[in-house]
Amino acid sequence: MTFMQALRARWNDAATLVCVGLDPEPARFPAHFAADPDAVFNFCRAIVDATAPYVCSFKPQIAHFAALGAEDALARLIAHVHAMHPGIPVILDSKRGDIGSTAQHYASEAFDRYLADAVTANPYLGRDSVQPFLDRADRGVVVLCRTSNPGAGDLQDLLVAGQPLYQHVAAKVANEWNTHGNCALVVGATWPEQLREVRAIVGDLPFLVPGVGAQGGDVAAVVGNAKTADGTGLIVSSSRAILYASRGDDFAQAAADAARALRDEINRYR
């Protein structure tokens, strides 16, 4: 099954547009993990197992593992998702972008080393820098378009031929880069107007939408402005608000409750 097929199957069969972001910060783990030499893996595995019924995908963020020297935990975590929750695709958030010969290695890192189903990619270096990802027709390529952070507009809003740069990115990905039908776009939940504008440009292309929860994005505005005609089209991602819903021994149950609540809130507006 391709990434897009798996994503659509989860949207339809599990009736959820929620993505749980896996951004481990050991300082925020419940106290009992302090004595656990495999805390990063064990914490994330507990979150995955508790929230799986409510998600259309998981999104581990690579810097959160690499900064801890926990790449091995990342690889085992993705293998755990594939083995125990087959059909739930994993988006590796690594936001890579480099000249083509180096990008080959980044594609291999995401898809062959970590066995991710999809990866986030930075389009700034142009098509050849993303091509090694695009060539993997069975894997997803989630291209940064209008990011969720406060400085997103510094470069992404600059007018190019009378149009903001992020709209050029949206059109290029939808009309030129998506030859295998494996592309999606990152558009932040913190920018409802831009969500509407990008949706108008790209038809049914899926959006990864981070920025609900800890960054304060409004769920009703996200869904109202960016869902597709069939009430799907969105991968609404939340990390901290789910991972750290409780610091007590009930952390996994609290995460499950937060993921289910987000699923239900999204579904109210679909």
Measured CA to CA, the distance from residue 97 to residue 95 in angstroms comes to 7
For residues 225 and 188, the answer to whether their CB atoms sit within 8 Å is no
Q: How far is the CB of 259 from ligand OMP (least distance, A)?
A: 12
Nearer to ligand OMP, 243 or 252 (CB): 243
- Which of these segments, 70-78, 147-155, 169-177, 193-201, binds ligand OMP (CB under 6 A)? 147-155
Nearer to ligand OMP, 147 or 182 (CB): 147
For position 215 contacting ligand OMP by CB under 6 A, the verdict is yes
For position 239 contacting ligand OMP by CB under 6 A, the verdict is yes
For residues 218 and 189, the answer to whether their CB atoms sit within 8 Å is yes
Q: How far is the CB of 35 from ligand OMP (least distance, A)?
A: 26
- Which of these segments, 1-9, 206-214, 228-236, 258-266, binds ligand OMP (CB under 6 A)? 206-214
- Which of these segments, 82-90, 144-152, 157-165, 253-261, binds ligand OMP (CB under 6 A)? 144-152
For position 214 contacting ligand OMP by CB under 6 A, the verdict is yes
For position 21 contacting ligand OMP by CB under 6 A, the verdict is yes
Contact code string over 162-181 relative to ligand OMP, x by CB under 6 A: --------------------
CA atoms 242, 245, 246, 249: torsion sign: negative
For position 194 contacting ligand OMP by CB under 6 A, the verdict is no
Q: Which residues of 126-145 are buried (b: 16+ CB within 10 A; e: fewer)?
A: eeebbebbbebeebbbbbbb
Q: Which of 2, 16, 57, 148 lies at the binding interface for ligand OMP (CB under 6 A)?
A: 148
Token pair of 107 as six digits: 């594609």
Question: Catalytic: 95?
Answer: yes
Nearer to ligand OMP, 145 or 252 (CB): 145
Q: How far is the CB of 156 from ligand OMP (least distance, A)?
A: 10
Nearer to ligand OMP, 103 or 243 (CB): 243
Q: Residue written as tokens 């790449």?
A: 71
For position 24 contacting ligand OMP by CB under 6 A, the verdict is no
Q: Which residues of 8-46 are buried (b: 16+ CB within 10 A; e: fewer)?
A: bebbeebbbbbbbbbbbeeeebbeebeeeeebbbbbbbb
For position 28 contacting ligand OMP by CB under 6 A, the verdict is no
Site residues for ligand OMP, 35-54, by CB under 6 A, read none
* Listed residue (236, 162, 266, 232) closest to 8, CA to CA: 232
Q: Which of 2, 16, 57, 120 lies at the binding interface for ligand OMP (CB under 6 A)?
A: 120
Query: Which positions are annotated as active-site residues?
Result: 95
Residues that bind ligand OMP (CB under 6 A): 21, 23, 61, 93, 95, 120, 147-149, 186, 188, 210-211, 213-215, 237-240
